[in-house]
Structure 1
């Protein structure tokens, strides 16, 4: 199953390849957010989280989600920005109230937009097979929960065996001469030669005859770019890594990337803006032959949503 996303007026909805789904609504005038998340399958129940950027006095203040005058108390989960979660016992009630509501706010005064909420929640019901069941978010009915399809199987990814990293790492690495002659590498080196990022070469041993090298290519205010190459010993016979995503063609580049030899993974966190409330977080695992996408989350709207509450777009096991 492919991941999919849709926009419904002010709201967005996302379902990943495992059919876990998420709906998000913004605060009016760009202040605050709300998230509804629900796993696939007959036993799943929605989870509700909401948040906003606080002033100093609000950082430790519990708050409620208020829908058409009814309060749904929430428990603080983080302070900057404020994020809170709703007890499970009232979450489905609150979600259905959102779908039919006229007004909503979080905290004492932060109004939320409900324009598109009903359509986003119905889209999730349709994707997960919940319409007219007792588990439906938007359009409940009498059909039992047992009629909801189960979760599709997730792809299985097995990491390669760990190997010694003696002589490799992300400090004081010298790029091999065989890599320096690659035209794309030479271009990156020319653009970063006078910049501190030019020294940010990373390397790792993938197995007895295979190495991994990261070439610094650019740096901005809050993002740093590297291109990754898989090579033979000493950087010989280099080929660009193939790092897939759910939304773009595979590339050799990462933003704010790094390699962990303990987990055999490249990770990246591309920020949409400096506070890191939007962008893409990705992980690729070395299987012994290639790097395979093993997790991805992406928040396209800069609404103040912390990365822990972004929608997943790809999962594996």
Structure 2
């Protein structure tokens, strides 16, 4: 993947202004004391406390996710996830004390999918006043705990500073919707977010013919070093090549090498669909800073113009990176990128998101 130009994070002022709008592009990533703070290009933010989980250890873990949408009408959601034997939320303790009955009543349990093999419980708080009551209690305490022989804990020490960081990114300081220290200014004082730039639809493409495919594969193969014999000490498996139609004139080429159980090194390029199958420019929006390039797996679907990549931190797929792009006939536009450094048992739908954009549907 092509390396991104580093997207600068703006230094945001402390006093929001009604007439001002937030810039669209501002991915933010921070790890601190077991917490992950991530804000995507739309300045929707997530705070996630997720411990690493060894596959062989007994499972009893708590994960806390706080989502804050950008803009004056942005919603706040809290989600508590537990892995282990089912428990009654009344067993939770905040600094050793039971939680208020009103806070417990605000927890709405989500049902785990029927095909799941993990012992997981999800509880969320969607009601806005109650979500803010929950947040007020959490930011003034040290630990949320599920007691037991091996207690499951969410350490809250660094939470106030992280909430303040989200307020700065979304310019909520001094407003009633501030997460760290609500003030007196109205919600309308929070800047809006500019609408996302519209993408061109995918125009479709004619499939590669047998002769085109054979010529492309031969042209790419000719650029590779001669394969080594299997008995050589420095033998490596020869690269695997995949070719796809991109436009009427261009083809997309993947070269995979040094493949392991679920990770390969790979290169992406574009070549002409006609002899001599020369290299062509390839426009592709790069990933936010801190991503891993040219490793993992990648797929392209010429029927839809969707390019996707994944990097799994381990075989069960509960950590790593995932991305997808939309091809608009000229360039690949990033539509989704999420990252999860902690192998915490969470599915990718709960991973922190650093980029989100909606691609137009084909007519």
C-alpha contact 1:19 1:40 (8 A) present in aligned 2: yes
Rounded Cα–Cα distance in structure 2 between residues aligned with 1:120 and 1:239: 45
| 1:76 and 2:134 correspond | no
Question: 2:163 is paired with a residue of what secondary structure?
Answer: helix
Q: Normalising to structure 2: TM-score of the pair?
A: 0.72
Rounded Cα–Cα distance in structure 2 between residues aligned with 1:154 and 1:124: 21
1:30-45 to 2 correspondence within 5 Å?
A: 31-45=61-75
Could you tell me how far 1:85 is from its partner in structure 2? 3.5
Q: Normalising to structure 1: TM-score of the pair?
A: 0.82
C-alpha contact 2:326 2:333 (8 A) present in aligned 1: yes
Rg larger for: 2
1:127-276 to 2 correspondence within 5 Å?
A: 127-165=169-207, 167=209, 176-183=217-224, 191-193=236-238, 201-234=241-274, 236-239=277-280, 241=282, 243=284, 244-247=286-289, 253=294, 255-276=296-317
Rounded Cα–Cα distance in structure 1 between residues aligned with 2:244 and 2:226: 18
| 1:67 and 2:94 correspond | yes
137-146 vs 157-166, which moves further: 157-166
1:312 equivalent among 344, 353, 356:
353
Question: 2:257 is paired with a residue of what secondary structure?
Answer: strand
> Cα deviation per residue 1:165-199 (whole Å; 9 max; x = unaligned)?
3548xxx9896221123358989xx8423xxxx55
Task: Look up the match of 2:15.
Answer: none
Task: Look up the match of 2:28.
Answer: 4
Rounded Cα–Cα distance in structure 2 between residues aligned with 1:256 and 1:185: 24
- The count of aligned residue pairs is 302
Task: Look up the match of 2:124.
Answer: 86
Question: 1:36 is paired with a residue of what secondary structure?
Answer: strand
Q: Point out where structure 2 has 5 or more consecutive residues left out of the alignment.
A: 1-24, 55-60, 229-234, 359-363
Rounded Cα–Cα distance in structure 1 between residues aligned with 2:26 and 2:324: 17
Could you tell me how far 1:242 is from its partner in structure 2? 5.6
CA RMSD of aligned residues (A): 3.2
